[in-house]
Amino acid sequence: LDYMPFDPIVKRTEGTVREFSSSINGSSSAGMTLAAVSGVGGLTPSSSKSSLLEGVSSKSMNASQKSAYFIGVNAFKTTKGAPHVILKLVNACDPANAAALTRQVESDVHRLGLRGIRSLAVAKTVNGDVENWRFLGLLTFLDPPRPDTKQTIEDAKKYGVAVKMITGDHVLIARETARVLGMGDYIKTSAGLPLLDPVTKAKPPHLGRDYGDMCLAVDGFAQVFPEHKYLIVECLRELDYKV
């Protein structure tokens, strides 16, 4: 019904999915659909009982129409992103269980990271509320370096080029990857890095002066967002390095 690619503001992807079923809470799905979209201009309910609507695009609806439509067709939202991003979203909806869930997820991510296994978290909305998020679990996968990456890094070093890692992966994954590639393992998280101005999107003043020593000292950064990558490069450029 709707899809949001990776958004650098909320740091995750999101999709709205329609669940096909013959009934919703024991009632006819077609009847539910008719009731939910009644009065929504331009919508033509289908005569079939599969709760399909003909010629409907959720992108043309306003917020209240979209909410009614999503509930009427038994829809829910799904989202995927870094575990800490999804935890923040889910914990805001269920603060009573936030601490226990965070401990469990962080423990699993740590355990997997020690083995070089990457993790993404998945959540969905429940109970017909498109803002009520619940944690579903972790997606795990391997993403090893290309076979020629280690040799490329070695060749770069021979020519006096310093190679640093900047990745959105968990810090444990970054350190394991650095070990495999023969790089230094002084990998920091993005916790100490600046962000763009939320309104103007301008980079911070005196970027090289304030963050240059850190960017030069580390072998890389992990758990970064795209704007962090940009600011690290800009920081080194302010110090007259070619990046």
C-beta of residue 163 within 8 angstroms of C-beta of residue 153: yes
Three-state DSSP class for 18? strand
**Of 145, 173, 166, the residue nearest 230 (C-alpha):** 166
pLDDT classification of 27: cutoffs 50, 70, 90: very low
- pLDDT tens for 34-63 read 223 333 333 333 333 333 333 444 555 665
Q: Which pLDDT belongs to residue 73?
A: 58
Instruction: Give pTM, 2 decimals.
Output: 0.64
Q: Which alpha helices (DSSP H) does 10-131 contain, by range?
A: 29-37, 63-72, 83-93, 98-113
- pLDDT tens for 163-173 read 999 998 889 99
Q: Which pLDDT belongs to residue 42?
A: 37
C-beta of residue 140 within 8 angstroms of C-beta of residue 83: no
CB 9: neighbour CB atoms within 10 A?
Answer: 8
